[in-house]
Each structure stands twice: as structure tokens, then as C-alpha cells.
Amino acid sequence: MTRVASLGMYDMPWLGWANDALWTGIARRLSDGEMPDVPSALDRTRPLLEIWRDPALLLAQTCGYPLTTALQGVVEPVAAPAYAWPGCEGATHCSVIVVAAGSAYDALEELRGSRVAMNGRDSNSGMNLLRLTVAPLARDGRFFGDVIETGSHLSSLDHVSRGEADVAAIDCVTFALVRQHRPDLVAGVRALAETARSPALPFVTRAGAPASKSAALRHALAVAIADPELAQAVTALGLTGVEPVTVEDYAVVLRYEREAAAAGYPNLS
């Protein structure tokens, strides 16, 4: 059975070359360790939800919120990445709350009744962390005037830049990658605040994998990231290493959900 690999969470078109180079380095080390059926290329042909649920999944990256909800028992984390970008500490990250560059907003309270762009209801960075942040400000379960589901962080940035939304919460890694490689896409926004932190987007494999397989995947990731021959690609992605994690490390994501609900704000609205 041919295995499946994806690095789709930060696989923007201008970073495809970097993810390809990183995967080549990971795959080489897995093959050298005599792991069978290591795919030679990343799967970019299918939606991520389909890839995550593929019984042939070898390695992918997902969001911490579906890891603890829709993907519980489907995949399991093998490592969490550490990044050099602002907003990241160790293998944790936050979201950057952005507004239009020319807007008059100076504080979160001033966003009451505004239009928020959200990449998806199943997003920790675009929904869950933002929900936690504005929960203390909500009245009768509402804070925003309108919620626009965009499908991606890049689309949310575009909505705010073009004035189709007033605010969005963007994963700080995505925000940094765009600012570094495509500054034109963030020229129309500015950072207003940051959310609480949570574990970074985990690298995962199929649930029930032997511990030896998870260890081999984690080792291959760490060695590839440290490989001087891959330095250009690794630097472009902002990676500095990986740390071992378990599903339990992501329980904080659901705790944030409970805290928002306890404050009377169960849904981003």
C-alpha cells in the first residue's frame, strides 16, 4: 500500500518548493530507516480532510481543534513544530487579530458590532482563540454584527484588506509567512492584538500507529529540519525544530472552548 503524506497547512503556492524540499529530506531518512512504502511526493490532489482520514496516511499536519474533535481517534500527533516567527514560543503559537490598516480601531472593545472574517468553524486559530479572546466582551451571547466564513486565512486577510470584513484572527505562523514572502497581501492590514497561546499545529499520523513508527517520524522530522542542505527551505518555512506531544497536550484547546461557553459565549457570533 502506497502511503500518503501532506504538509498542507502552510503549503501556500509560493512555499511549495520549500515543503517539497523538506518532504524529500524527511522521506530519505524514513527510507534509510527501512520504513516501507514511503511516498516520494506530497499529496496536493485532495482536500485535507480526505487526506487526514485516509487509512494510508503516513504523515500530515493538522489544526489542534479538529485533532481534539472531528479527528479524535482518527489521527494522533507525533510532534509539534517550533517556529522562529513572532508569536511563537517553543512549540506554541497564537493568533494575530488584524484590522484594516486605515481603520480607527484601537481596542478590542471597539470591534463590537463589526464584521469578522473567519476561515472556518473548525479552526483553532481563526475561531476558537478569537472566541476566547472576545468572550468577556460579549453581551447576551453576541459580540460581532456579522460572521463571514471565508475558507482560509489568506481569504480572511483579503476580506479585511478590501473592506469586506473589519477584523480577523490569523494564525501567527501564516501571518509571518505572508509578511515574509508576500508582503503585498498584508499591506492593507495591521495587527491590533494577540490571542492566548496553544500548542502549534501538530504533525500527525494514523491513530493506532506503533510507538516505533511515531518515533521514526519524529526523528526524521527533527533530522531533516536540522540538515544544512535543507537550510534554505527550512528558513523559508521558519522551522527551528520539533517537540514530542500527545493528544493530551491539546486539551487546552477544548478548555478554551469551555471557558468561552462558561462566559456565555459558546459560538463566535
Q: Could you tell me if 88 and 200 are in contact, meaning their C-beta atoms sit under 8 angstroms apart?
A: yes
Asked if pLDDT for residue 248 goes beyond 90, the answer is yes
Provide the residue ranges of all domains of the chain, joining segments of one domain with +: 4-84+199-254, 92-198
Q: What is the mean pLDDT of the chain?
A: 97
Closest CA to 19 of 35, 5, 37: 5
Asked if pLDDT for residue 85 goes beyond 80, the answer is yes
pLDDT in the model for residue 188: 98
pLDDT in the model for residue 2: 82
Closest CA to 121 of 148, 102, 87: 148
CATH superfamily of domain region 92-198: Periplasmic binding protein-like II (3.40.190.10)
Within this chain, domains 4-84+199-254 and 92-198 share the same CATH topology = yes
Count H helices and E strands in the chain, helices first.
Answer: 9, 12
Q: Which residues pair with 171 in a beta bridge?
A: 95
Asked if pLDDT for residue 231 goes beyond 90, the answer is yes
44-76: pLDDT as tens digits? 999 999 999 999 999 999 999 999 999 999 999
Say what the pTM is: 0.96
> What CATH number is given for 4-84+199-254 in this structure?
3.40.190
- pLDDT band at 149; cut points 50, 70, 90: very high
- pLDDT band at 216; cut points 50, 70, 90: very high
108-130: pLDDT as tens digits? 999 999 999 999 999 999 999 99
